[in-house]
């Protein structure tokens, strides 16, 4: 019996794809003077931002790069980012059925908390684990296990809903059941690679599994 549902944030609860791509285009232009490959940037979705930045901007002051990235986003987040269809409805549905809910994301704590408050969905979550909270990050199991420990939940009673390879591997490594948010361009590839049993076409599809 499922007692717990944990969610990734970017690309799962909220459509942040284009804002992230545009933000990387901005810092590539500002610091490196070249263009970034969109397919490559999308392949990094799910890993901590600082991991990507240290790899791609290692010879620059990372704090300056990060500040530039955040400055670009601050005035655009509210106007360019939206929740996916039926996200508030499914959270309300699950909460009323006494399912424990949480977020496990590679996003930083401050931006995650700010985002869910802006969308008025913070009231639904019993735990929020971000890149600031763990030494190891997805696809390692540590972030998911930390959430389960806080909730006193068992992996075998837990769904983890995500959209990236990092999410699927994290769930598998932790012994939880991975559920793929199947609205990204690489969803078919992930289904085949990780033999994903449960795939959502819409967040409301979760009602069929609870």
Give the residue numbers marked as catalytic: 8
Three-class secondary structure assignment of the chain: CCCEEEECCECCCEECHHHHHHHHHHHHHHHHCCCCCHHHHHHCCCCCHHHHHHHHCCCCCHHHHHHHHHHHHHCCHHHHCEECCCHHHHHHHHHHCCCEEEEECCCCHHHHHHHHHHCCCHHHCCEEECCCCCCCCCCCCHHHHHHHHHHCCCHHHEEEEECCHHHHHHHHHHCCEEEEECCCCCHHHHHHHHCCCEEECCHHHHHHCC
């Amino acid at each position: 019996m499922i007692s717990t549902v944990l969610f990734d944030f970017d690309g799962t609860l909220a459509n942040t794809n284009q804002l992230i791509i545009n933000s990387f285009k901005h810092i590539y232009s500002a610091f490196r003077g070249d263009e970034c490959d969109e397919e490559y940037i999308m392949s990094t979705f799910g890993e901590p931002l600082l991991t990507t930045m240290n790899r791609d901007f290692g010879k620059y002051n990372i704090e300056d790069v990060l500040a530039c990235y955040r400055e670009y986003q601050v005035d655009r987040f509210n106007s360019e980012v939206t929740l996916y269809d039926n996200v508030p409805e499914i959270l309300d549905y699950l909460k009323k059925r006494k399912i424990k809910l949480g977020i496990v994301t590679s996003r930083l704590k401050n931006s995650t908390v700010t985002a869910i408050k802006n969308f008025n969905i913070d009231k639904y979550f019993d735990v929020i684990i971000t890149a600031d909270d763990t030494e190891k990050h997805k696809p390692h199991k540590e972030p998911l296990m930390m959430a389960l420990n806080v909730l006193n939940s068992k992996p075998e009673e837990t769904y983890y809903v995500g959209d990236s390879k990092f999410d699927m591997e994290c769930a598998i490594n932790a012994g939880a059941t991975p559920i793929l948010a199947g609205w990204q361009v690489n969803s078919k590839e992930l289904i085949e690679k990780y033999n994903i049993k449960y795939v959502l076409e819409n967040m409301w599809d979760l009602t069929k599994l609870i």
